[in-house]
Amino acid sequence: MSAGRQLVLPLPHAPSFAREDFLGAPSNAAALAMVESWPNWPAPLMLLSGPAGAGKSHLAAIFAERTGGASLNAAEIGATDLDALTCAPAVALDDAELGLSAEAGFFHLINFARARGVAMLMTAKAPPSLWGVKTPDLLSRLRLAPVVEIAPPEPPLIEAALTKMFADRQLQVEPTLIAYIARRLDRSLGAARALVEALDAEALAQGRKVTRAMAAALLNEAETD
């Protein structure tokens, strides 16, 4: 460990998925409207698509809270009592493409929900045709789901997200520095989250507040990776 640097223990930081903490913007307006329009949906199975860090999990949590429904990450389908799950009034299935590790269970989940009239919101990074589904009947069911896409975030949304992420970690960062970071970041809330986490760790290691030099160094490093 370099002189002047402190040992930083990695501590988990869970973001809030409350409705009041969701940052609305034109890029996610259609997705938020879809979640909040339930139960007046055009189909019982809907898909929310967007890049990593776009707010899909947050919207799924809002949907579950709004409907009193159950929440499940699709990676856990194979270890879940699907019959009990679909006794809920609705189901939010996050990272739906991960359900392909248990395609038979995924197919049964959709069929159970359909038979019981349970609304289901799925989230994924891409449409089902790009998931590599091997079960033809499952793919047919998934293709029936209307898709609402989240577009890449606008610069004002990235700035607002950075401001909130820093505040959540109790980091005091000047608005001019936030604007500088937003200009150089990729148009990705996932990239914003990763940078804030890295800056938090670096500030703790140096025992200083977040500075432009710290941000520039980490941004330069990200650009050369």
DSSP letters, 48-115, are EE--TTSSHHHHHHHHHHHHT-EEEEGGGGGGS-HHHHTTSSEEEEESGGGGGGGHHHHHHHHHHHHH
54, amino acid identity: A
Band of residue 224 on the pLDDT scale cut at 50, 70, 90: confident
Find where tokens 């409907």 sit: 67
Alpha carbon 217 to chain centroid, angstroms: 27
Please state the domain extents for the chain: 19-149, 155-224
6 pLDDT band (50/70/90 cuts)? Answer: low
Average pLDDT over residues 104-115: 93
Q: What percent of the chain has pLDDT over 90?
A: 76
Residue 46 has pLDDT above 50, yes or no: yes
**pTM of the predicted model as reported, rounded to 2 decimal places:** 0.83
CB 13, CB 111: distance < 8 Å: no
Q: What is the pLDDT of residues 51-70, one digit of tens each?
A: 888 899 999 999 999 999 99
Which residues touch 106 (CB under 8 Å, ≥6 apart)?
74, 77, 99, 100, 138
Percent of the chain with pLDDT over 70: 93
Contacts of 10 (CB under 8 A, 6+ apart): 201
Mean pLDDT across 205-210: 90
Rounded mean pLDDT, 101-112 = 94
The answer, yes or no, to whether residue 1 has pLDDT greater than 50, is: no
Collapsing DSSP states into helix, strand and coil, what is residue 122?
A: strand
Q: What is the mean pLDDT of the chain?
A: 90
Q: What's the confidence (pLDDT) of residue 223?
A: 78
Using alpha carbons only, give the angle 195, 19, 13 rounded to the nearest 5 degrees: 35
Specify the range with the lowest mean pLDDT, choosing from 13-27, 87-101, 184-198, 210-224: 13-27
**Per-residue pLDDT at 156 exceeds 50:** yes
pLDDT above 50 for 9:
no
Tell me, letter by letter, the H, E, C secondary structure of 16-51.
CCCHHHCCCCHHHHHHHHHHHHCCCCCCCEEEEECC
CATH number of 19-149: 3.40.50.300
Q: Predicted confidence band at 20 (pLDDT cuts at 50, 70, 90)? A: confident
The partner residues of 94 in beta bridges, in order of sequence, read 73
Q: Which residues pair with 165 in a beta bridge?
A: none
The model's confidence at residue 4, banded by pLDDT at 50, 70 and 90, is low
